[in-house]
Amino acid sequence: MRTLNSSNTLSSTFYLSGIPGYEEFHHWISIPFCLLYLVGIMGNCTILHIVRTDPRLHQPMYYFLAMLSLTDMGMSMPTMISLFRVLWSISREIQFSTCVVQMFFIHTFSFTESSVLLAMAFDRYVAICHPLRYATILTPRLIMKIGIAALLRSACAMIPLLARLAFFPFCHSHILSHSYCLHQDMIRLACADTLFNVIYGLLLISVLWGMDSLGIFVSYVYILNSVLKIASREGRLKALNTCASHICAVLILYVPMMGLSIVHRFAKHSSPLIHIFMAHIYLLVPPVLNPIIYSVKTKQIRQGVLYLLLRTKISSTMM
């Protein structure tokens, strides 16, 4: 019977939702989403291009920034096709297997981004507290290991959670509350004991996000302690200014992330618009804002963007 249920689940079709009550405006609503995705993709691709092509940016801080751009795109891009299929009235259907793959990428890269932010906090700690040993501690080999470990940790942690979904019967509604698949949304539709998924999901959030946020907090305690020992006010401000972009990136990820988790678990009967609004903020705000923040607050990235724009303008003028 369990095998039969698994087979039925794997072949199940689910139905994505747009924005309830505003179906006639979906085509218009798709315009700001198009702009947000375009800004996010162009911004992160620009960061990646600048870090790759500018030898001055071949430093640990910018390698971690490139990782952040990759995880931003990995978290938001899987939702793009299904979102526009719904908003453009192409199709609301999504197969269970496609849904699981989409969930895997969204949640894996979400946890990976948290790990990358922890690595960036460690980078700032070493740069400020141990500046003379910065290059010897954060070698390219270590940075590569950190990136691979962050991705593997997140991916392996998600496998048990998503694998169990194949054995759940979905005998009630197959209508999801978003235009893409989230684990919290999927288990709500299962007519089976989902206690393991609920507890395991809470443990994942508590352990992975908890460890990362604790590591970030401890790093900044040491950073602040070191900064307060700097004699000049200008020196203290300069040191803290190098952390401003990272602090913004942390808040941009963690605040919507915690908000979405709270809404899904403790405000199940609230307006669907609240769930949809929080989910879109969680997935779209970090990829859109992170490149803008780092371009504005980081001199080297800002110079790289200006050089890229000026070079493109000169090339088009010569043609």
54 close to 304: Cβ distance less than 8 angstroms: yes
Nearest residue to 220 (alpha-carbon basis) of 294, 123, 115, 146: 123
The tens-digit pLDDT sequence of the chain (319 residues) is 444 344 455 557 889 888 887 888 888 989 999 999 999 999 999 999 999 988 888 999 999 999 999 999 998 888 888 899 899 988 889 999 899 999 999 999 999 999 999 999 999 999 999 988 998 999 999 999 999 999 999 999 999 999 888 888 887 778 888 888 888 888 888 888 888 888 998 898 889 989 999 999 999 999 999 988 887 888 888 888 888 889 999 999 888 877 777 776 666 667 777 778 888 888 889 999 999 999 888 888 888 888 777 766 555 555 5
Helix axes 26-53, 299-318, angle to 10 degrees: 100
Q: Which residue has 């096709």 as its token pair?
A: 81
What pLDDT is attached to residue 290? 92
Q: Which amino acid, 273?
A: L
CA distances from 258 to 41, 47, 134, 205 (A): 24, 27, 33, 9
On whether the CB atoms of residues 192 and 153 are closer than 8 A, the answer is no
- Residue 148 makes CB contacts below 8 A (sequence gap 6+) with none
Residues 6+ apart with CB under 8 A from 159: none
Distance between CA atoms of 302 and 101, rounded to whole angstroms? 36
Q: How far apart are CA 147 and CA 165, in angstroms?
A: 28
Measure the CA–CA gap between 301 and 298, rounded to whole angstroms: 6
Neighbours of 42 (CB within 10 A): 11
Listed residue (62, 76, 112, 60) closest to 294, CA to CA: 62
